[in-house]
Amino acid sequence: MKLENKIVLITGGGSGLGRQCSQLFASEGAKIAVVDIDKDRAEGTVKLVEQQGGTAIALTADVSVEAQVVDAVAATVDAFGKLDVVFANAGVVSRGGVPSVAGGEVVDFQDLTDADWQAVLGVNLSGVFYTAKAAVPALRANGGGVILATSSAASFLAYHSIAMYSATKAGVNGLVRGLSLDLGKYGIRVNAIAPTHGMSPNFLMPAGSPVVGQSYEETAGPWDPGISPIPLKLNRPPSLSDNARAALFLVSDDSAYISGVTLPTTDGGTLSRVGMWFPEDEGTPTLDASA
């Protein structure tokens, strides 16, 4: 078991990748603190972990509020005695989302407000900063550990209508690099994953929506690799599990000497494309936005 006797705190653990990782990490021997702004979702994840024989607790916190993150870390240590891994996974998309996926209306950049900016900045970048900062004392007391963050393919290339989101995720990559230098002396590794495909539709759905538990591609209907924009052609769609297993690698001792890295996950060659279509690409659908 890759995480036997490890204590893991996961923000945004109530749905999507956070829920998938809670279940996967628990199956690998970890005890999980599921942190989410939605109490019911966090408790739902705990039930799933317990049903598979694991141990988890549900904690409610808004990661854009530092004091709430500090309290969540303290509650985790109180419950389990230590902290080995913190996964700063919680994230929100900027207002307007990705209209081609969400079916919403495009919001012109000039019409976005300071409140819109603060909302996405608070969760996606400040939330990672607060989570890492709160975790460091507990990780140092434990002799070291791992900080993992969820970035996005949007930190490397542009997606329509989510410039603010892209900016915050690029900030996560910079934070990861800086913290890897500052915290390495304490035996703390800091990395991020940057999913492209295989992420949850809940990300673009209104708060309180039912947890889907599948990826965009899995919910889109019968899978046909021939019409998928993903260059890698496999006989199944990308899934939440594909991203979760990359996260597992980065929080386990399998990656003991990896730090300061943002790893594109479930990419399937998408990020290898240049910014134009060649003749052999004719008929290829426009890249979907799934991270």
Mean pLDDT score, 206-222: 86
List the 55-60 sheet strands across, edge first: 55-60, 31-36, 7-11, 85-88, 145-150, 188-195, 262-265
Residue 273 has pLDDT above 90, yes or no: no
Q: What percent of the chain has pLDDT over 90?
A: 79
pLDDT of amino acid 18: 97
| Region of poorest pLDDT, from 27-31, 91-95, 263-267 | 91-95
Catalytic residue among 130, 159, 165, 216: 165
pLDDT digits (tens, 9 = 90+) for 123-167: 999 999 999 999 999 999 999 999 999 999 999 998 888 999 999
165 catalytic residue (yes or no): yes
Q: Is the dihedral of CA 132, 135, 139, 141 positive or negative?
A: positive
Residue 59: is it exposed, middle or buried by C-beta count within 10 angstroms (0-12/13-18/19+)?
buried
Contact 38, 289 (CB under 8 A): no
